[in-house]
Amino acid sequence: MLFVIEPLFLERLLPRRALAAPEPTYLRIEWLHHGLLVLSMLIIAGAGSGSMGVNMLTGECNLHTSSTGVI
């Protein structure tokens, strides 16, 4: 967001919007940041579990187990 969206769109739009309605603009930006934070946490959780052999979409677990069934 910082290096792509801000230079393209927000640099022109945000100052005008903040002058016209500061509180709703702040709330919108805050919600956007919270949404991006949740998205990044989901991506990190998916990457971590995927590296361990877990498919988060289907719930399948392809962990390699020994003959005793202990990981």
Instruction: List, for residues 26-48, the tens digit of each pLDDT value.
Output: 998 899 889 888 988 998 988 88
Burial of 10 (0-12, 13-18, 19+ CB in 10 A): middle
The pTM of this model reads: 0.63
Question: Which string of b and e fits 31-64 if b means at least 16 CB within 10 Å?
Answer: eeeeeeeeeeeeeeeeeeeeeeebeeeeeeeeee
Per residue in 6-29, pLDDT (tens digit) is 777 777 888 888 899 999 999 988
Backbone angles phi, psi at 61, to 5 degrees: -125, 115
